Every structure is written in structure tokens, then in C-alpha cells.
Amino acid sequence: MSDRPQGFDTLQIHAGAKPDPATGARQVPIYQTTAYVFRDADHAAALFNLAEVGNIYSRLTNPTVSALAERITHLEGGIGGVCCSSGHAAQIMALFPLMMPGTNVVASNKLYGGTYTQLTHTIKRFGWSATLVDFDDLDAVRAAIDDNTRAIFCESIANPGGYITDLDAIGKLADEVGLPLIVDNTSATPYLCNPIKHGATLVVHSTTKYLTGNGTVTGGAVIDSGKFDWGKSGKFPSLAAPEPAYHGLNFYEALGGMAFTFHSIAVGLRDLGMTMNPQGAHYTLMGIETLSLRMRKHVENAQIVSKWLENDPRIDKVTYAGLESSPYFERVARICPNGAGALFTVAVKGGYDACMKLVDSLELFSHVANLGDARSLIIHSASTTHRQLSDEQREAAGASSNVVRLSIGIEDAADIIADLDQALTKATA
Ligand SMILES: *Cc1c(COP(=O)(O)O)cnc(C)c1O
């Protein structure tokens, strides 16, 4: 094949996969194995020394999982990546090589509920901390950064409030202060948004959502742009100084642009063990083949359904960035040119009680703590995913008690609307 770059629709099917060299199997086989036989003792030693790349043990690498990591890496335009057991695992895996006790991450205050809790409470047990600020206020972001900051973290399309981060502005700021920018691209997927083009150093995913697209398995991925100079500031000793956990190897010196990826496998997966299993990778590989087709339909349906809701007298507000009424409408064309995703909140007249009744009255929609399924989903964030937050935090995250979050599926738009219509009648009676 020639060197001309392939399009997204081609890469989502072919990147990272070749016919199986042993059997000719066209689909990526599920390599259901724990370990791999070494050719001889020298081969084993070379693998452990990172002198040769190959499979040792499936906590570290597995060919099915590697095919998926390579495919997502291509779709994101990165140079290397690792898959892991969930989106939350991916966030820890992204931070792990960068952080030490006493260091902090500056993050957007508009985040997935679980990420909010992970960053504000759980990571403190590692001696890390997070400062959450409004990422539209660049002065506040700058003011939150101190000598111990090791990363800037945000979501491209933030879950759940229909917020789009101005990645160009944040990417420029990260560059100026010399810190890596980590972007959670779960809600957008690489089909709608390419954070690396806007200055992201690392892109994290919950592959559980749109990338798999069928609600079967949890998974995560961290993709490295390969563009960050880990050695420049002296702030990242695990990557760019002798690492005692890997017989004193300086990953950056030895591996250059692939330092982060190799560190994530050789230290991160080896010692934290947040490994994706090959069966899970298989389901995600199946899903990812149709990612662009699904995302086009998700976006088309979200446009139709959000517009219908916005014009309905039983609704107070719809926060879909694809609507002209959204304060973030201007950012769609610039940050996520293929559409604003399919996730938004709806404020229902009648508040908390009406929301609970709406959730219970829907028939086509599933009431689940998930998003990015082929099916339409709904959840009342305030009483579930964002329950652990204070009222102010919920408000900032776009999850006030009078709103429900919709994840619009790829069914017929008319059927989605009919279901919402009958349920709203009951909820607001
Ligand atoms: C679901 C989700 C996560 C967490 O992913 P899991 O696979 O559930 O661990 C993180 N970020 C966003 C934006 C998500 O939607």
C-alpha cells in the first residue's frame, strides 16, 4: 500500500490489525493466554531488558489488547498507547508516571461525577491532590498552578452538562507553563474531536462508552502524543531520571517519544495491574469498527431530539452544545467539527419530583448509570452519579437536582421523541 494517509473510516477497521501470522485469521484473534513461550534464554533476557519488544505475560501485554491500543492510537493521532481495565484506571495510569507524593493536578470543575470524586478524594491517599477550577477562566487556571503541579486535566466534551472545553486556549496555556495536558475524550471520541491537534499531551478514554458502543465491557485507554519533553523541567523523574522500580532505567533517555508508553506497561501495568483482558478488547474491537457510522447517527439524533425538547413547554432548558442557544455553540465547529456528541442535560419543569417520575415513565430509554450505548439512556445525575457532591459542586458540574442526563442512542429519532413525549406527559401531569 502507498504512503498516503488513510481516512478515519478505514483506520477504525484496519489500524493495528493484520491477518494472524500463524493461522491467517482475518479478524483479530482473542489471544486467551496468560504467558508466552520464550524462544530461548537470551530472548527472555532481551524482553525483560526492553532490548526487544515482545509478549511476556498478559498483565503487561497481550496481542488482542495491543491491537486495540494501536487502533485507538491511530484514531487519536498519537504515537503510542496502552489499554487498561476501565476509564477510571486510565486516569490513574495517565497520572501515575507524572506524579509523586506532594504533587498536584489542576483540573476543570466540569467533570464526570466519578472523576470528580477520584480527583478530589481518592487520589489524596497517594499523596496527590487536585485543584478544580473553571476552565473558561484562564487566569484562575494559571493561578491554580504552582511549583508542584504536574498536569492539567479536562474533558473535551464534559459529561454531563453540554460543556465544551476551549482546548486551544488550555493547550496554549499548558504549553506556556510547560505542563502536560491530559484530555478525557470519552464523550467526544476521536471521531468528533482530536485533542492532540489542540495541544493535548495525553488522551484518556473510557472505552466502555462509545468506542465499544454496545454496553458490554468496561475498559480504558491512555494515548500519548509523543510531543512532551519529559526531561526539560526536571519535574518528571520517573520518566526522565533513573527509575529504581525498573533497575535504574531512564525511560526518556532510552526510549524518547515512546517513554510514556513503555513506562505505562513496564511499571504501570506491571505494578498496578489495571490490565484489560483480551475478551474485553475483542468486544471493543468489534464496536470500534463502526464508530464513525454510529457517531454520525448519535449526533444526528441528538440534534433532532434536543431541538424538539427545547421547543417543548414542559422543559425549562436543554444544554446541548449543538443548539444555537448553547453558550458553547461557537466552540463546536472549532473543537469538535463532526458534532457536539449525543449527551446533554434537560431541566424539567416540576424539578426533582418530575425528574424522578420521568425516569420511571420512559419505556424505550433505559435507566442506567452508563452512556454512549447504541441504546438511548437516561439518568438523574443528582440522585445517582453526582450524589456524593455538594449542591454547589453539582451545579458547577451541570448536574442540579432538576435536570436529567440523556445519552441519545441510534434508534429512530421519531421513536425516541415519542417515548419522551409520553413520559413527559406523565411526569408533569
Ligand atoms: C464513564 C466515564 C469515565 C469512567 O470510565 P469507566 O470505564 O466507567 O471507569 C471517565 N470519564 C468519562 C467522561 C466517562 O464518561
The residue nearest atom 4 of ligand 1, judged by CA position, is: 87
* Cell 488522551, located at residue: 203
165 Cβ neighbours under 8 A, 6+ residues apart: 108, 110, 135, 154, 155, 156, 157, 158, 183, 335
> Is 181 within 8 Å of 174 (Cβ atoms)?
yes
- Identify the DSSP state of 140: H
- pLDDT for residue 254: 95
**How far away, in angstroms, is 319 Cα from ligand 1 center?**
20
pLDDT, position 31: 97
pLDDT at 74: 98
Q: How far is the CA of 190 from the centre of ligand 1 (A)?
A: 15
Q: Which pLDDT value is given to residue 194?
A: 98
Which of ligand 1's atoms lies nearest the C-alpha of 218?
Answer: 7
Pocket test for ligand 1, best of 159, 202, 206, 218 (most atoms within 8 A of CB): 206
Domain-wise residue ranges, the chain:
8-287, 291-427
The rounded distance, in Å, linking the Cα atoms of 378 and 344 is: 10
Does ligand 1 lie within 6 Å of residue 373's CB atom?
no
**Number of CB atoms found within 10 A of residue 148's CB:** 14
For residue 160, whether the previous peptide bond is cis, meaning omega lies within 30 degrees of 0, is yes
Best probe residue, ligand 1, of 159, 218, 381 (max atoms within 8 Å of C-beta): 159
The CATH code of the domain at 291-427 is 3.90.1150.10
Which residues are bridge partners to 106 per DSSP? Answer: 131, 152
Question: What's the pLDDT score for residue 1?
Answer: 56
Q: How far apart are the CA of 206 and the centre of ligand 1, in A?
A: 5
Q: DSSP alpha helices (H): ranges in 25-160?
A: 41-48, 63-76, 87-95, 113-120, 138-144
User: Which of 118, 208, 381 has most ligand 1 atoms within 8 Å of its beta carbon, as the pocket-test mutant?
Assistant: 208
Q: How far is the CA of 1 from the centre of ligand 1 (A)?
A: 37
- The CA radius of gyration of the chain, in Å to the nearest whole number, is 22
Tell which CATH architecture fits domain 8-287: 3-Layer(aba) Sandwich (3.40)
Q: For 45-100, what is each residue's pLDDT tens digit?
A: 999 888 899 999 999 999 999 999 999 999 999 999 999 999 999 999 999 999 99
Which residue numbers in the chain have pLDDT < 50? Answer: none
Instruction: Please report the beta strands in 134-255, taking only residues with DSSP state E, as ranges in sequence order.
Output: 149-155, 157-158, 163-164, 181-184, 202-206, 220-224
